[in-house]
Structure 1
Amino acid sequence: MRRLEHFFVALNGWALILMLGAMSLIVGANITMRYLTSHSFPWADEAARYLMIWLTFSGAGLILRIGGHVAITNLQDALPATGQKILRGLLVLGLLIFFGFMVQVGLQYAQRMQYQVTPALRLPFSYVYAAMPVGFGLLIVHLLLIAPKFIMAGTYKRLDDDGTDDGALPGGANG
């Protein structure tokens, strides 16, 4: 299971690297063309925008794994250990429900937009809107993978977690 999780995280990370690289190349080539020839690619801004949307939704799960999203822990810190575990369990349950709802909403949006096309690339907007259910689906998987350790100990996994440490963030900061 650990190898499968490691492969999943690595695949997610490489997908982000490829999208960021493509976005950088597109924007860089467009800037170069604009200054060298006074013309730019008419599709470059649109492609970069859609890649940024995909990056945001696809990367949210990796950030969740390491506790990188905003968290207010005052209530949790004020509770005894058992209360903290219950609160974290309820938080995970609430997030799973919300993420599942957003997958459903994202699928509905993508389905509604299947006949409209983007102005420059002429792609169906459903490809752009598909970032939402894919991203929230990835959030569900990442949350399920870190949930047991988070609920029981309040710690997050590191991206390079090889099982040799407690999974806490460097410096003891856990979000």
Structure 2
Amino acid sequence: MLNRFERVLVATNRWVLILLLLVMSCIVFANVVLRYTTGDSIVWAEEVARHMMIWVTFLGAGLVLRFGGHVAIDNFHHAVGEQGARVVRAIVALGLGVFFLVMMYFSILYVWATRFQTTAATDIPIAWIYVAMPVGFLLLFVHLLFIVRGYIGHGNYITSDEMDAESAASL
């Protein structure tokens, strides 16, 4: 059951990212073409593309963590031996988990504080854009839970035929 949830979560996460990137690219491309061919641009295009970029950043961070695509310095792990490396990785994983949960809490407070503000061009509530933060930190925490055992024990991340650290980081 947990494996199925994990597969569905990863697949859904990836497809949402793909769709957001596709729509964002189409909006930006259309805006550039219109600007250079007609001299006018779509009023809301830059704002919507920026908001989609925020969502892509927060939704994609969990997948990048899952496949080991974030910047890391692992020299210390190699210098302290196998048992020491496990302790270091456990401290890192615990620190990340606490950080994700604390950031999720404070980002929920931030979303609540911005609930009455709206965007300039589209008049969308700012809270709908900033809700990407708690969702993203929740996804980071969930992905961390899926990889933590292999990471602490062996320093491994999730491997996939379709995705590796380089591909995940390029999202």
TM surpasses 0.5: yes
Question: Matches of 1:169 and 1:47 in 2, distance apart?
Answer: 29
AA in 1 matched with 2:142: V
Question: Matches of 1:27 and 1:106 in 2, distance apart?
Answer: 28
1:130 is matched with 131
Question: Matches of 2:62 and 2:35 in 1, distance apart?
Answer: 36
1:164 is matched with none
Question: Matches of 1:47 and 1:83 in 2, distance apart?
Answer: 47
Instruction: Give the number of the structure whose residues are more often helix, by fraction.
Output: 2
- How far has the Cα of 1:159 moved from its partner? 4.1
1:23 aligned to 2:24? Answer: yes
- How far has the Cα of 1:131 moved from its partner? 1.0
Answer whether contact 2:104 2:138 (CA < 8 A) is retained: yes
- How far has the Cα of 1:169 moved from its partner? 6.5
TM-score between the two structures when normalised by the length of structure 2: 0.91
**Percent of aligned pairs with the same amino acid:** 46
AA in 1 matched with 2:99: F
Which moved further from structure 2: 81-90 or 134-143?
81-90
- How far has the Cα of 1:37 moved from its partner? 2.0
Answer whether contact 1:61 1:135 (CA < 8 A) is retained: yes
1:38 is matched with 39
Q: Where in structure 2 are the equivalents of 1:75-154 lying within 5 Å?
A: 75-154=76-155
Aligned residues: 164
Give a deviation string over 1:84-138, Cα, whole Å, max 9, x none: 1111111111100000010011111110001010000100110111111111110
2:53 is matched with 52
Structure 2: stretches of 5+ with no match in the other structure:
167-171
Answer whether contact 1:115 1:124 (CA < 8 A) is retained: yes
Question: Matches of 1:2 and 1:34 in 2, distance apart?
Answer: 48
2:169 is matched with none
Answer whether contact 1:110 1:129 (CA < 8 A) is retained: yes
Answer whether contact 1:65 1:159 (CA < 8 A) is retained: no
Aligned-residue CA RMSD in angstroms?
1.6
Evaluate the alpha carbon distance shift between residue 111 and residue 169 of structure 1 in structure 2; reply closer, same or farther with a 3 A threshold: closer
- How far has the Cα of 1:144 moved from its partner? 0.3
- How far has the Cα of 1:35 moved from its partner? 2.3
Greater RCO structure (CA 8 Å; 6+ sep): 2
Evaluate the alpha carbon distance shift between residue 81 and residue 101 of structure 1 in structure 2; reply closer, same or farther with a 3 A threshold: same
Question: Matches of 1:127 and 1:159 in 2, distance apart?
Answer: 33
- How far has the Cα of 1:44 moved from its partner? 0.2
AA in 2 matched with 1:24: S
AA in 2 matched with 1:96: G
Question: Matches of 1:116 and 1:169 in 2, distance apart?
Answer: 37
Question: Matches of 1:19 and 1:169 in 2, distance apart?
Answer: 21
